[in-house]
Amino acid sequence: MSALLALAAAITMAPVIGADFDQALDNFKRGKYVEAAADFQEIVDQQPEYDYGWFLLGMSFLKMNKFDDAESSIQKAIDLNGERFEYHHGLANARYKAANYAKTVAALKTAESMADDASSQFALYRLRGLSYIALEKWADAVQDLDKAQKIKKDPVVLDRLSLGYYKLRHYDKALPVLRQAIQAKANDATLLMRMTNSLLNLGAETRDEARKSSYFKEALTTAEKLQGIKGGDSDITNLVGRAAFGAKSFPKAEQAFRKVIAQKPNYCYAMVNLGKVYIAMERWSDADSILGDAAKCAPKMAVVYESRGFALMKQKKLPEAIAQFNKAMEIKPSESTRQMIQTCQNNIEVAEENAAMAALEAKQAAEAAKAQAEYEEAQRKQKEWEEAQRKRDD
């Protein structure tokens, strides 16, 4: 139940105490909060035990963003009558508006036992969930916001619930909530970006190739929609490139990353991503070149050296590849990189053995050829001598 609905419910239950109250209430309903506050102040001055008057005075102050005055007045209403949910919710609202989120949660915990209908429960879970989001207590937030969305599909609740799941890296839970949120706010760039990133993460995590392909293709569709809204934003274009790469649309990915680099020549992540695209396309020399540029602007990024080492290995530039892999190991040791180094070393040993064998075979062939030539020369000379002897005998 929103603060306005709570107030409306409270108004219907309020005792009628005369024309002064009617005038004050009319001013409040018409948005004349200064006048309403003055009227309600006069009423509680005359009737200091009138809890509802204090509550409406506090709500008038809240509408004017006078948070301390609002909290003080509503607290007096609670002190006089602590059994009304709307009073506690109003106090929590004042604290939330003042960015006192921990105190908001405290007020709503007190009110929880009084939330005895769906509207009150929705209001409580919504506001407490939003407070937990502000406090970055993501696990607590998703518990309350999930309860709220089961009661009522509220765009703000869906937005914040998806954020909570996203921050917890529960991308599988964030995705259906994001789809609902985007139905209500189809062109919300923040939601579309969160959904694209969720899909990219899900695609990277799953080992099921069909699901992986589905996630990346949907990520590409969502990223392109986002690009249509945000225009030529380089971060969005980079996101399109990442999604296209995951969807194996390599030419589209290359185009996106090249566009980003043209806009921001030192966009290191785009360089790394373009290098990965070239590797996927088996354009080893292009990969080596762009990753060399990436190493200049991101010298502490291990993936740069890992990727460049792989591109060099594919070009059979094994010592250079090992040098790149060793740089990666200095930054972030990994078993896969260690195996790449071992593979290169094994290939170098094999190449050296093959070269030695080839040299030996060449030497043996040369010696055999020399021996054959010497034999043939001896045979020739023998024939010449025999021919000379024959002529002499004749």
- Among left, alpha and beta (phi > 0; psi -120 to 50; other), residue 118 is alpha
The pLDDT of residue 1 is: 41
Could you state, in order of their start, the residue ranges of all structural domains in the chain?
16-100, 283-351
Q: How far apart are CA 300 and CA 364, in angstroms?
A: 50
Nearest to 275 by CA among 240, 321, 310: 310
The torsion defined by the Cα of 156, 160, 166 and 171, in degrees rounded to 10, comes to -50
Give tens-digit pLDDT for 163-176: 999 999 999 999 99
The pLDDT of residue 153 is: 93
The pLDDT of residue 74 is: 97
The pLDDT of residue 18 is: 57
CATH 1.25.40.10 fits 283-351, yes or no: yes
Tell me if domain 16-100 and domain 283-351 are identical in fold.
yes
Q: How far apart are CA 126 and CA 108, in angstroms?
A: 10
Assigned architecture for domain 16-100: Alpha Horseshoe (1.25)
Each of the 394 residues of the chain gets a pLDDT tens digit; together they read: 444 444 544 544 445 455 689 999 999 999 999 999 999 999 999 999 999 999 999 999 999 999 999 999 999 999 999 999 999 999 999 999 999 999 999 999 999 999 999 999 999 999 999 999 999 999 999 999 999 999 999 999 999 999 999 999 999 999 999 999 999 999 999 999 999 999 999 999 999 999 999 999 999 999 999 999 998 899 999 999 999 999 999 999 999 999 999 999 999 999 999 999 999 999 999 999 999 999 999 999 999 999 999 999 999 999 999 999 999 999 999 999 999 999 999 999 888 777 777 777 788 888 888 878 888 888 888 888 878 788 777 6
Give tens-digit pLDDT for 316-345: 999 999 999 999 999 999 999 999 999 999
- pTM of the shown model: 0.81
Which distant-in-sequence residues (6+ apart) come within 8 Å of 346 by Cβ?
A: none
